[in-house]
Structure 1
């Protein structure tokens, strides 16, 4: 996924680096035995009321487990309950989750790996990693995958190549994570830091040598003299800027960069561990990539046909006359040929439900039943009565669990259990019940606040009832004159909401300013304030 966002604590980084085993002496019936005492984990899952943000740009699922950014939240029961990683790296710093990989099918462990990022003056920066081997119950923090200043050469087979060390967090945010089938290797796409891998759960990382922009293949047994450096200086290459990574079911590693798609099969690995790579690029024909920036790679498992590889490909027009375009590129034969679909659509994420394909993009949620030959698109999601989702909200992420499809938008998290016919909406909220874990309780609140009618369409007023009945909300101006009354007949018990569009009883848009509201339920009256700015 591609986005930009927030600094990792140097104290936490030092603490993570100083983990050690402490030994104690236990005397049991005259036997002295060593006991291992581990440093406490850097994060653990705690109950929360729901998603941490209404802007959901990262989703990752396996089985019934759904992991959600920008904080690392988990639901395993279809959204009935949520838990979130209580991590200093997320709570005390400005980090958000940029990439997640989940593998619950590994021998002896269940891996959850989250790449963190922060905003460095408008540029996404590496914030480290949270890694778990117990399915996310506890996490360990590891610092960003950066170089030391003296890392100026890399051995590649018979070659010793010069390298520009990547020592700055800015520009090296984790764009993608992938795990090998055995679970012993974690792969990373990290922007300026390129493609890297770790065999010790992120404690250290190895930089991967990919072809320069001038070559379409490299082999560790062939002599070369090119530098390892991302584009940005005179000797750098777009193919050394990491955008995405995938390890497919056959064990083939696919690395997406700003310079194309790179493939290394299990047979391309030498005894020394170095890999040969084949590079695929934009060709200007319908049989190649739509663009050279491969921002996402996903594998569609097809029981009755070879698995399909789908890539989100964006333009990087680095040469005069190029016509690279946004779109999706697909191969079913390991890169021997490609087909294009959704050309000129900026897509952010892909997911699959057997033969059905979902694509999250600027213009909504796209669905195809015929391998991308045709698509239907929607921006309006059928919700229960009283729920509202902005039709202009961006669709940024999509994934599937066993019985549902989930969609992350800029106006909440959506879930459908009937293949997109109807939807349930989840939004970030403060608990209205004092016994609800995870935050400060309130009697009522309104969001978004401040409220901009031209952009937000409506402001939602949240409240709770003990018994079913009618709810009334009065909107008052700064002089405490009533300008609008909202009513909801037949409210159920529990948390509810009413929406206001910023108009008076006549439907006229009200001027900017401070407005007060009063909610009347069976619990009594509760009051709040809304700032209207347009």
Structure 2
């Protein structure tokens, strides 16, 4: 187990773990079941009048533009844990929805991710058919992407399980998967980077599989494969670690988009050699091809891309560094300004954008560690949607702070700082003063003073610095929310780096 831990930590800490942090930020125990149940949105699929969201606490769907959500979890027949992969495809009158889940477990080597299996629904989530995680063990075997091919086969990409082909859903049976490595070698995710699979796409009769070692293309339903690497082409992809693949069709032209990252070669003691090696000259970015993958143009150098979406000839890229848009097939890019909801006077407290989708009415749906943002005018204005426990209702206190414990370097990262929220409600027009105290009740920071608020639910934010511009030390802190004409309400939180 320890032999494969190093690479898994590289991926799961940099990507999957940040999704788990996002779920924590989302406060899983949302009271109103029609709200979002998690603010960590790792994938979005727009399918007809339904918008499907892969979140930290389950699969959510809205049919009314985000006014209400229904969320499916293990209790409804899905696997245990967060949603790590999501796909939807229409076959005649059947809408096939497939998800993968994952959770953490504690073993001798530490805290490790576990694949929670694959589940599908043919009735928009009313019932589910679940299969256990394919592979020798579910530990360190998380599925990161799913695609449905023209022949109705289901292709999943997982770290420990590699690339696998599934069948059986058309008969209402649990999916049965068989290994289908995208090369001629025996399945070996320890020593073969091309067997550590992360992304999958089926389009125009072609299968595309992205791994830690290559982009793989099949024209014959997975019987044979062409391996595309940074080393084997004159105009190559930026890096061999391929975390997302998508296809854009514009007229008769097809563009293959890949989120490609630098691979740092490591060999374990049991490996005589590492197959599909090479890190020289690689860099993080995106790679796009309009000749079937034989040559590539690279862009957004040093950006860590997560996802793509298309609106005709326009492409959007979701990245750790923000949201980007190109109207010339990736030759030039514009970066969106920080996402702000001017009506609610709130903004995303994160630069990271995990996912993006465009619905039939050209609405943009953007997922982040800090909620969902919706724009009906190409990003000119935004509606930010978050789930949160309502203060002062159902026995809840008038204020609470989240996330707690709070880490300045991990939570709500924006502009180089992390942010803690203080949620509260007001009954009438008032002025708000919020102060933070250490365990000895010495003043640490006056966050707001005499801020005007109408009646409603609000929050204030703190960046972790005290009145002297120093980061607050680890420990227990108290805070007061003073509402003019109402009273003073107290709460506490923990700072833990």
**Unmatched segments (≥5 aa) in structure 1:** 7-45, 147-166, 213-226
Q: Which residue, out of 114, 128, 134, partners 1:139?
A: 128
1:505 and 1:211, CA in 2 relative to 1: closer, same or farther beyond 3 A? Answer: closer
Query: What is the alpha-carbon distance in structure 2 between the residues aligned to residue 66 and residue 289 of structure 1?
Result: 30
The answer to whether the 8 Å contact 2:78/2:130 transfers is no
Once residues 499 and 345 of structure 1 are traced to their aligned partners in structure 2, the CA distance between those partners, rounded to angstroms, is: 27
For residue 194 of structure 2, give the secondary structure of its aligned residue in structure 1: helix
What is the Cα deviation at residue 279 of structure 1?
2.3
Distance of 1:194 and 1:91 partners within structure 2: 21
Indicate the larger mover: 167-176 or 279-288: 279-288
The number of residues matched between the two structures is 440
Counterpart for residue 101 of structure 1: 87
CA deviations 1:278-325 (Å, max 9, x no partner) are: 2222237662222222221112232x3423221112233554673222
Instruction: Indicate the residue corresponding to 1:60 in structure 2.
Output: 45
Among 385, 388, 400, the alignment partner of 1:426 is 385
User: Against the structure 1 CA distance between its residues 479 and 320, is the aligned structure 2 distance closer, same or farther, given a 3 Å change threshold?
Assistant: closer
Q: What RMSD, in angstroms, separates the aligned Cα atoms of the two structures?
A: 3.4
- Check the 8 A contact 1:111/1:132 in 2, yes or no: yes
Give the superposition deviation at 1:91. Answer: 9.9
Q: Does 1:520 align with 2:483?
A: yes
Post-superposition Cα deviations, 1:303-354, rounded to whole Å, max 9, x if no partner, equal x342322111223355467322222121223224332222332212111222
**Is the Cα–Cα contact under 8 Å of residues 315 and 325 in structure 1 kept in the other structure?**
yes
**Alpha-carbon contact 1:109-1:135 (below 8 Å) kept:** no
TM-score in terms of structure 2 length: 0.77
Alpha-carbon shift at residue 398 of structure 1 (Å): 2.3
Contact 2:35 2:69 in 1 (8 A): yes
Q: Give the Cα separation in 1 of the matches to 2:248 and 2:150.
A: 16
In the aligned structure 2, how far is the partner of 1:92 from the partner of 1:172?
14
Q: When the two structures are superposed, what TM-score results if normalisation uses the length of structure 1?
A: 0.72
Given the superposition, is the C-alpha separation of residues 210 and 81 from structure 1 closer, same or farther in structure 2, using an over 3 Å criterion? same
Distance 1:383 1:209, change over 3 A: closer
Which aligned pairs between 1:8-407 and structure 2 lie closer than 5 A?
48=33, 50-64=35-49, 65-71=51-57, 72-88=59-75, 95-103=81-89, 105-120=90-105, 121=110, 123-146=112-135, 167-181=136-150, 184-201=152-169, 202-212=174-184, 227-233=185-191, 237-248=192-203, 250-265=204-219, 268=220, 275-283=223-231, 287-302=235-250, 304-316=251-263, 318=265, 319=277, 322-378=280-336, 380-384=338-342, 386-390=345-349, 393-402=351-360, 403-407=362-366
Q: Render the CA deviation track for 1:449-470: whole Å, top value 9, x for unaligned.
A: 3445676554322233455x22
Q: C-alpha distance in 1, partners of 2:72/2:279?
A: 48
| 1:498 matches 2:460 | yes
Does the CA-based 8 Å contact 1:331-1:339 persist in structure 2? yes
**Residue among 392, 403, 419 paired with 1:448:** 403
